[in-house]
Amino acid sequence: MEKIYDVVIIGGGPAGLSAALYATRAKLTTIMIEKEKTGGQITSTTEVANYPGSIENATGDSLSNRMVEQCKEFGAELQKDEVQEVKLEGEIKEVVGKQQTYKARSIIVATGASPRYLDVPGEKEFTGKGVSYCATCDADFFTGLEIFVIGGGDSAVEEALLLTKFARKVTIVHRRDEFKAAKSIQERAFKNPKIDIIWDTVIEEIKGEGLVQSIKMKNLKTDEVTEYKANEDEGTFGIFVFVGYLPETQLFNGILDMDGAHYIKTDENMNTNIPGVFAAGDCRVKTLRQVVTAVSDGAIAAIQAEKYIENTFDDQ
């Protein structure tokens, strides 16, 4: 007889792992499907300093590995597969992977979101070594240093303002001659004495030895290329990239309700527009995308999946 899981979780980041933990502790048969490395974006984070209880120089890898072992201990199945299609109508849903098809009474979508990259030489090499995509996560590491913020939307300017609480100087580099950010946010940035702005400029290359030590920038109007090098006494500086995020939700286009940026809409209990289908973590509409909010979403989604299954299938 073909197996029907209580819960299929799509995505193996903190939201998916938290959902798997709570689902298995509730005695639900659970499988979590991840196409790449389990753990999500935090696996590339050198240090996780703002997750409660994450002390003693905890890395993203060590934190996610503990989550994985905890899920296995309670009986969650972890499957490496790439989901190609979902069939979410009806009481029994189907998740079609490259390797096999999975059937379940409920689905938790925890596919996450990825920051848009600059795609310039040195960016990947120095991610976590001076290049960051999260001010809340990494600002403290650059206390007293100089920081470059790349971007010109709400997130870039807001994060630049946050970073002034830590850095001695913040320079916003924007490819246009005006910000796209809300006027109220712009005004605060223009008034902040710690913020400088470089207009009409893009990043060409990020360089260094072990840590970021220099950045090459090109003025789009004059084609002039300049290179900024770290202060000799400091040896490094920060580069924070805020040019947007890409939610991993293409599979659900036309199936689940989304906002204009393709984030999945849910209520506070992680319910989507389809009964028995929940979304958790960075792939859903929310104001803060952090490990701590992802694991909260995952826990809520699993508990709500348990209630949904009890109410829908107990009498059958």
Distance, CA of 133 to chain centre: 9
% of the chain residues with pLDDT over 90: 79
Please state, in angstroms and rounded to a whole number, the distance separating the CA atoms of residues 284 and 39. 18
Asked whether the beta carbons of 261 and 154 are under 8 A apart, the reply is no
**Token pair of 33, please?**
């499907």
Please state, in angstroms and rounded to a whole number, the distance separating the CA atoms of residues 245 and 238. 20
pLDDT per position as a tens digit, 94-105: 999 999 999 999
pLDDT per position as a tens digit, 192-223: 999 999 999 999 999 999 999 999 999 999 99
pLDDT per position as a tens digit, 138-184: 999 999 999 999 999 988 999 999 999 999 999 999 999 999 888 99
Other Cβ atoms within 10 Å of 231 Cβ, number: 11
Average pLDDT of the segment spanning 227-236: 95
Other Cβ atoms within 10 Å of 138 Cβ, number: 23
pTM of the model: 0.77
What is the pLDDT, as a whole number, of residue 137?
A: 82
Please determine, for residue 44, whether its predicted confidence score (pLDDT) is greater than 80: no
Please state, in angstroms and rounded to a whole number, the distance separating the CA atoms of residues 165 and 140. 9
Burial readout 17-52 (b: 16 or more C-beta within 10 A, e: otherwise): bbbbbbbbbbebbbbbbbbeebbbbbbebebbeebe
What is the pLDDT, as a whole number, of residue 112?
A: 93
Residue 132, SS3 per DSSP: strand
Average pLDDT of the segment spanning 47-62: 72
pLDDT per position as a tens digit, 260-294: 999 999 999 999 999 999 999 999 999 888 889 99
Range name among 31-40, 70-79, 138-147 with the lowest pLDDT average: 31-40
Report, as residue numbers or ranges, the catalytic residues: 134, 137-138
Please determine, for residue 3, whether its predicted confidence score (pLDDT) is greater than 80: yes
Range name among 5-9, 115-119, 225-229, 307-311 with the lowest pLDDT average: 115-119
DSSP 127: B
What is the pLDDT, as a whole number, of residue 42?
A: 66
Domains contained in the chain, CATH given = 4-115+245-313 (3.50.50.60), 131-241 (3.50.50.60)
Angle between helices 291-313 and 14-25 (to 10 degrees): 40
Asked whether the beta carbons of 76 and 24 are under 8 A apart, the reply is yes
Average pLDDT, the chain: 92
What is the pLDDT, as a whole number, of residue 181?
A: 87
